Structure 1
Amino acid sequence: MSNITSESALSSIATPVIGLTFFAVASGFLMSLIPLSLAYFAISESLAPWLASVFYFGLLIGATCIQRVIKLMGHRRAFILFLTLVALTVVVMLLLPNGLIWLAARFVAGLAIAGVFVVVESWLLMADCPKKRAKRLGLYMIALYGGSAAGQLAISVFGTQGMVPYMAVLMLLFLATLAPLLLKGGQPISHELQTINRKELKLINRPAIMGCVVSGLLLGPIYGLLPLYLSQATAFSQHTGLLMASVILGGMAVQPFASALSTRMSKSLLMAVFCLLGCVAVVGLLESSSLMLMALSLLLLGASSFALYPVAITLASDTMPVEKMVSVTELMLLCYSVGSVLGPLMATSFSDASDALVVYLGVCLTATSIYMLIKSAASISSGQKPITG
């Protein structure tokens, strides 16, 4: 086994998981807080989709250059750097409440959060077998989405107006930084990291790339626009925080199932199944007449949308050695970011109807399900093993 996997056979994953959990709470709260607090800071709410898109554009640019930082500083120090940079963008937004400044700050935050994701994902994916990688990534997704759900619930605790919610975000980011500061062992050895060459790009499964792109097309609007949709276009505006938490909780709850099933069946077929469940959720949202049905539909929407990325990234890593894991996570994050940049803009231009966002999500899920079913059938007919998609 390559010594890149860890400094010892039992490398610690406590640092990335603990740090990620606090970061996820802060990030989940902040993503919903920003569009809901625009009016308080006298910034036009029409800027909301642009703030979401510029953030994901920063994520896209960041995904192209993180490996060099990790190779230079190591995973732990890079983790500290990126978390600190996210916190600084929040401070700038508070001190300078201006539309252009906020756009610039969210772009820089996207760069830094790309670093957080690549550091943590590659740290956990540097295992010596696909099954262990799937389990670790499942743990990563539970921490990420569980923290994000708690962040949505923070809306009810801290509100969305004034400085207090943003101070709470800064405190959570500080707690996230304590993990890599205090827990110094178990990080992967970074000097042996290798990049993916052009020939190896052809080995990456196309459904893996498509799964990451579609994940961005779905999650960009879900994070950036769904809070506004729930607060303005539904009868449940007073329950926006609870309903957004339902989305994230659905994403968290599905992770153990996605992790277990991804090693037992075709990953492209699994993504098709999740997309079909998402279509059911969209119908439920359009027909919701009660808070319970709305919450259940959003729970199912979260489960289907948030399951795509971990399944896709494990599919991409199946054919790659551990030395390539940072490059794999960069590439998959790049694909996700492309979708995330386009998603909010496509959703807002899709239609002028009040439920345009939900219809857009339904179209994306339906088209992806058809694509994945075709790819799954093609791989079975060509005699490929189901586990590779």
Structure 2
Amino acid sequence: MLDVASGNKSGSPLVPVLGLSFFAVASGFLMSLIPLSLKANGLPADLAPWLASIFYLGLLIGAFTIQRIVAVTGHRIAFVIFLLLLTLTVAVQVVWAGEVTWLAARLVAGIAVAGVFVVVESWLLMTDTAKARAKRLGLYMTSLYGGTAVGQLAIKPLGIDGALPYLVVIGLLLVAAMVPLLVRSGQPNQHQCEPLRLKELKVLSRPAIMGCLVSGLVLGPVYGLMPLYIAQTDYAPKTGLLMAVIILGGMLVQPLVSYLSPRCSKRLLMAGFCAMGGLSVMGIAWAAELSVIMGCYLLLGACSFALYPVAIALACDGLPVTKIVAATEFMLLSYSIGSVAGPLLAANTGITSQGLPVYLAVCLIATSLYMLLSSNRRVPANDPPVANL
């Protein structure tokens, strides 16, 4: 067993990033596998939005309890616990293919994934400078989305029938859990985890909260419903490829986010990404050539996945290190509320028509306008003015 010195106040990024990479490959494969394998498991297709929403309801529930667990066990052990809990839910889906069972499993999976996100994000954000936080967030997001994109590509070689695809997911999650067990890296000190008081919640940036909320409203349907939307178009055989392109866009934009986030107004940055995301969705709805379609999906992924890291960086700017876990927990709560509502709202617009692109376009363009209006107000201390780039 490796034992890396733990004197570093902010902790080593090795364990969370390496473990997250395996987790991301597994979850990337799983997020498309579940809606696409419903028929093969004798389940109705209209269960898909409910599975997506109840998963994000689990994220919402988990966001209320994670800080206390991390404070007791520390980041490393909490990481293992949440990964093993997620593995158990996938095993349950393999053994019992029923509507109630899968809904319950996805609820618990949401709680476990909330734990993974808060543990990893707070572990990496526990450093003293905004520049270091931006670099670590970029590393985190690149690992997350890169692994997720690789997972999407597993759909074609592994298929969606039988237990084998789910067993592969279980194997990847077990490898992710082995990383913090075998590498005893310098995790943040347990006494650094302090809750946010009610009066402190009031000073959190409202644009940051809105950015996390809209990120959930957009990414919930992208994860849960976009595979079904693509499967109903002329590009159905390329569902896995197009989903991978979306995640690849999210991965490729992270270095740009890391560079711009500490150097310019985060509100204007979110406004710009949302505006470009709205345009990309229009291209998805009306473009006729595959190359253009792929470009629009790539841009949608870049703009959609850029929102959360910018928003959470804005929320954490100016906060003491001891409050980072609680802040990331609250931002995840905002994200989860959007993620619970997003798939159900999008499903009501019609998944197989152009309803899903219209829903995404409205969310992104409305958010762009909000961020532009917000940026015209007095700029607070935790959102630096635009720098000369």
TM range (shorter): over 0.9
- Say if 2:152 is the partner of 1:152: yes
Instruction: Provide the C-alpha distance between the structure 2 equivalents of 1:121 and 1:167, rounded to a whole number of angstroms.
Output: 27
Instruction: Provide the C-alpha distance between the structure 2 equivalents of 1:319 and 1:196, rounded to a whole number of angstroms.
Output: 14
| Secondary structure of 1:191 counterpart | helix
Q: 1:359 to 1:204 in 2, by over 3 A?
A: same
- Say if 2:177 is the partner of 1:180: no
Instruction: Provide the C-alpha distance between the structure 1 equivalents of 2:78 and 2:297, rounded to a whole number of angstroms.
Output: 35
1:381 Cα deviation from its structure 2 partner: 11
Q: Deviations over 1:231-270 (max 9, x none)?
A: 11x1000000000000000000001101111111100000
Q: CA RMSD in A?
A: 1.7
Q: 1:200 to 1:22 in 2, by over 3 A?
A: same
Structure 2 unaligned residues grouped into runs of 5+? 1-5
1:76 Cα deviation from its structure 2 partner: 0.5
1:157 Cα deviation from its structure 2 partner: 1.9
1:176 Cα deviation from its structure 2 partner: 0.6
1:279 Cα deviation from its structure 2 partner: 1.3
Who is 2:119 aligned against? 119
Q: Deviations over 1:146-189 (max 9, x none)?
A: 00000111111211111111111011101111110111121111
Who is 1:349 aligned against? 348
Instruction: Provide the C-alpha distance between the structure 1 equivalents of 2:338 and 2:26, rounded to a whole number of angstroms.
Output: 23
Instruction: Provide the C-alpha distance between the structure 1 equivalents of 2:157 and 2:342, rounded to a whole number of angstroms.
Output: 29
Who is 1:274 aligned against? 273
Q: Deviations over 1:189-209 (max 9, x none)?
A: 112311111221122111000
- The TM-score normalised by the length of structure 1 is 0.95
Who is 2:226 aligned against? 226
- Say if 2:42 is the partner of 1:47: no
Count of residue correspondences = 382
Q: Deviations over 1:108-138 (max 9, x none)?
A: 0000000000000000000011110111011
- Say if 2:265 is the partner of 1:260: no
Over the matched positions of the two proteins, sequence identity in percent amounts to 57
What is the one-letter code of the residue matched to 2:194? Answer: Q
2:228·2:352 contact (CA, 8 Å) conserved in 1?
no
Who is 2:201 aligned against? 201
1:11 Cα deviation from its structure 2 partner: 3.3
- Say if 2:282 is the partner of 1:293: no
Who is 1:164 aligned against? 164
1:7·1:189 contact (CA, 8 Å) conserved in 2?
no
| Secondary structure of 2:177 counterpart | helix
Instruction: Provide the C-alpha distance between the structure 2 equivalents of 1:174 and 1:57, rounded to a whole number of angstroms.
Output: 24
What is the one-letter code of the residue matched to 1:342? Answer: A
Instruction: Pick which of 36-45 and 343-352 moved more.
Output: 343-352
Who is 2:3 aligned against? none
| Secondary structure of 1:40 counterpart | helix
| Secondary structure of 2:184 counterpart | coil
1:319 Cα deviation from its structure 2 partner: 2.1
| Secondary structure of 1:132 counterpart | helix
- The TM-score normalised by the length of structure 2 is 0.95
| Secondary structure of 1:378 counterpart | coil
Who is 1:3 aligned against? none
| Secondary structure of 1:93 counterpart | helix
Q: How does 1:371-386 map to 2 (within 5 A)?
A: 371-379=370-378, 385-386=384-385
1:8 Cα deviation from its structure 2 partner: 2.1
